[in-house]
Amino acid sequence: MSMRLFKKTAALGILISILAGFSGCWDSKEIDTIQIVTGVGLDKAENDEYVDISIQIAKTSPSAPGTKDSNGNGDSKIILESSKQTILEGVAELNLNNSRSPIFHHNQVLLISADLAKEGITEYLDAFMRDREARLEVLVVIVDGEAKEMLQADFEQEKVSGIFLRRTIRLLSNVTPEYSVRMIDLASRLRDESISPVATLVRLEDNDDKKNLLVEGMAVFDSEGKMIGNIDADEMRGYVWAMGKVEQGRVAVECEYGRAAFQIISMDCKRNVKLNEKGQVNVSFDVDATLNIGELRGFENLTPSELISHLIEETEGEIEDTIKGTFQSMQDLGADIYGVGLDLKRHHPKQWDKLKDRWEDYFSEAELELDVNVRIPGTGQIKKSLEMEDGENES
């Protein structure tokens, strides 16, 4: 064989082997050998050493034609369960007894039951973050109840509850991004010693046959990842309003003249943290809110200009009370969910060094100065409430 021909054949051989090698044949996963995980749930097991792991799988193909279960429609998800000491072992066991291997790339939520959360979530987060298939934007949700039940629930809007949860929370995040807690947000807060992590708290409501999702509020953790308390839906607003960047929401006030409900157009909060002369922490929140009147009831004896100034007064009071209330509850809990310590660290690092070891105490004794400013530019489609006086034109 001539040298040229040999060279050409050798080159061709090399090229083909490069093609083969580069196509990643080691890593190929055929679609009928995988299961797509859409939700993972962690529950407390009866055995203290163990943790109950439930994995929700979305079926990639409907059940074989001709076989239907009693509902008349094929189930679109299956739940796998396992109970082991570590998450790795649990998933390995599921892998073992299965014809397909689960892949976590499309995992939507990580559900942790409140009971388990009280014992600490840090170790589980570590397992999920290390796994290279893990997605750091997985939403972490705490379930008041059993995570397994939540995964098994059939909601009307979506067949797969993992997807339902994720979409519900994403909708909530239109109000403010603070509502959707991703794994990376949680991990970031856990890493920092001062700020207390929070996570959305949900509950499954059983109304006869229909299951409902209730967003109860948020769960509050200490710096070691143990759940120490929770805030309910109202207090949640106090937290979120103090964090600023709110673009949706309602404020309702009731006063001697009547009732009013408002839509929040925007709410921003500027924060300032410093130490006063006594060495105490001084936190000042400067809230700027723009509201639109949504609903008015009463206010018969007011003229429109009096109305607006009165409403502004009432809403400012209401916002102030809500924020103060939540702040106080958090101080009682010793949980700095606002990131006051973080602000101090960022702007006054030297002063922070002195405080950081006993931040919980300093936070509990912090003084809060609140300044709320409300603007009400619009009143909706109608200018006066139906019961108001037919008075002079507004100024």
Partner 1 sequence: MRVDKGLITGNQFMFSIICFIQSSSLLTSFLTSVTLQDSWLIVIFGAIFFIPVIFIYREIMLLFPDKNLIQILDEVYGPILGKVFGIIYIWFFLSLTSLNVLDLGDFTKLTIMHETPSVVLMIMCVLVASIAVRHGIGLVTKYSTFFSVTVSCLLIISVLLLLNQIKLENFLPILSLPFKKYVQGTHLITTIPFGELLVFLMIHPSVKLNRKQATKYLFWGFGLGTVSILVVLCQNIAVLGNMLDMFALPTLVTLRLINLGEALSRMEVLFSVILIMLLFFKISVLYYVSVLAVSQMFNTNQLRYLSLAAGALIVCYALTLYPSPVEHAESAKNITPFVWTPIEFLIPLLTLILGKFKKRKQLKEA
CB distance 144 to 217 below 8 Å: no
Phi and psi at 184, nearest 5°, equal -70, -35
Task: Provide, rounded to whole angstroms, the least separation between the CB of residue 20 and partner 1.
Answer: 10
Q: Pick the binder of partner 1 from 346, 354, 377, 387 (CB under 8 A).
A: 346
| Cα 299 from chain centre | 38
* Residue 22 found at the interface with partner 1 (CB under 8 A): yes
171 contributes a contact to partner 1 by CB under 8 A:
no
Tokens of 395: 């100024």
Task: Give me the least distance between CB of 321 and partner 1, in Å please.
Answer: 28
Number of residues that bind partner 1 (CB under 8 A): 21
Q: What distance in Å separates the CA atoms of residue 334 and residue 102, rounded to the nearest whole number?
A: 40
Per CB under 8 A, the list member of 7, 270, 347, 354 interacting with partner 1 is 347
> How would you label 267-293 residue by residue, b for 16+ Cβ within 10 Å and e otherwise?
bebebebebeeeeebebebebebbbeb
DSSP per position, 288-350: EEEEEEEEEEE-TT--HHHHHHHHHHHHHHHHHHHHHHHHHHHHHHT---S-HHHHHHHH-HH
Binding status of residue 21 toward partner 1 by CB under 8 A: yes
Q: How far is 234 from 60, CA to CA, in rounded Å?
A: 40
Among 187, 227, 283, 366, binds partner 1 (CB under 8 A): 187
Of 68, 116, 128, the closest CA to residue 226 belongs to 116
* Identified binder of partner 1 from the candidate list 13, 349, 377, 380, rule CB under 8 A: 349
Out of 37, 56, 345, 370, the residue judged to bind partner 1 by CB under 8 A: 345
The nearer residue to partner 1, 52 or 185, going by C-beta atoms, is 185
Cβ proximity to partner 1: between 107 and 322 the closer is: 107
Q: What is the dihedral of CA 263, 142, 183, 77, to 10 degrees?
A: -100
Cα–Cα distance list, 183 to 199, 243, 382 (Å): 10, 19, 45
14 binds partner 1 (CB under 8 A): yes
Contacting residues for 256 by C-beta, under 8 A, at least 6 apart: none
Vertex 42, ends 39 and 45: CA angle to 5°? Answer: 145
Find the shortest distance in angstroms from Cβ 25 to partner 1.
Answer: 8
CA distance 226 to 224: 6
SS3 call for 382:
coil
From candidates 26, 66, 70, 207, binder to partner 1 by CB under 8 A? 26
Q: By CB under 8 A, tell whether 4 contacts partner 1.
A: no
Listed ranges 57-65, 77-85, 133-141, 146-154: which one lies at the site for partner 1 (CB under 8 A) = 133-141
The reply on whether position 123 binds partner 1 by CB under 8 A is: no
315-334 residues in contact with partner 1 (CB under 8 A) are none
Min separation Cβ 247 and partner 1, Å: 13
- Scanning 14-22, 93-101, 146-154, 312-320 for contacts with partner 1 by CB under 8 A, the matching segment is 14-22
Helix (H, G, I), strand (E, B) or coil at 209: coil
* Residue 39 within binding range of partner 1, rule CB under 8 A: no
Q: From its phi and psi, is residue 236 left (phi > 0), alpha (psi between -120 and 50) or beta?
A: alpha
Position among 2, 4, 5, 27 found at the interface with partner 1 (CB under 8 A): 27
- Footprint on residues 188-247 left by partner 1 (CB under 8 A): 188, 191-192
| Shortest Cβ 220–partner 1 spacing (Å) | 20
Does 9 sit near partner 1 (CB under 8 A)?
no
Shortest spacing between CB 308 and partner 1, in angstroms: 34
Q: In this chain, which of 1, 2, 3, 24 binds partner 1, going by CB under 8 A? A: 24
3-state DSSP call for residue 248?
coil
Residues engaged in binding partner 1 (CB under 8 A): 14, 18, 21-22, 24, 26-27, 132, 135-137, 184, 187-188, 191-192, 345-347, 349-350
